[in-house]
Amino acid sequence: MTDGAAAGRAFFERLRTRLRTVPSKTLEAPGLSLREAAVLAPLFWRAGEPWTYLTQRPMTLRKHPGQISFPGGARDSTDLTPLHTALRETHEELGLPGDCVDVLGMLGAMPTITAYWVTPFVGVVPADAPLTPNPVEIEAVLEAPLWRLRRERRRLYEAERDVFVWDDGRHVVWGATWRMLNQLLEHALAVGR
């Protein structure tokens, strides 16, 4: 095992412990009728730092065209738990089978403006895992360096919003995915670089 691999493994073990002992705050949505959904923040280690896969939706989709998010979606009747939903959706969208995901824990659940109650999970996937994105659901798979995401304020859809950007600002994450990434970054920074 290389020193880099050992550092990555140690970081992910510290993150696992943190996620299980310091839970993220769940955002409440009293009185709303929301459909259950779940996502996976798939992490991997490259060149001495943690990265995550994000997906960009095709512009041709009716819902959320072009938006960047974690792989995931609505809970099916066959999904036993929200974790089953996150793993099934990740497999459908990226071709990553559930047995290659080492689930570290979860972030705080939250409502979305599109009437979903989303439970986000965090897992480690092999850095060299072959991805086969579903072209119907995924325009592009983006690799984001977790510690190098930059916070900004941008005007989107007629409002000032907090966003994360990388690649010289070409990629912009906002909304529920921003809230999930913000929670994930808080945990990641707390366990150290």
For position 48, which CATH number holds?
3.90.79.10
The count of structural domains within the chain is 1
pLDDT score, position 65: 63
Tens of pLDDT, residue by residue over 113-135, are 888 899 999 999 999 899 999 99
Residue 65: partners with Cβ closer than 8 Å, 6 or more residues away: 57, 58, 59
Tens of pLDDT, residue by residue over 16-56, are 999 999 988 887 767 778 899 999 999 999 999 999 999 99
- And the tokens for 53? 């896969």
- Residues 48-79: b if buried by 16+ CB within 10 A, e if exposed: ebbbbbbbbbeeeeeeeeebbbbbbbebeeeb
pLDDT score, position 160: 81
pLDDT score, position 174: 74
Residue 89: partners with Cβ closer than 8 Å, 6 or more residues away: 38, 39, 40, 71, 72, 73
Q: What is the pTM of this model?
A: 0.91
pLDDT score, position 165: 79
Tens of pLDDT, residue by residue over 121-178, are 999 999 989 999 999 889 999 999 998 888 877 676 677 877 777 777 677 887 889 8
Residue-range definition of the domain harbouring residue 179: 3-190
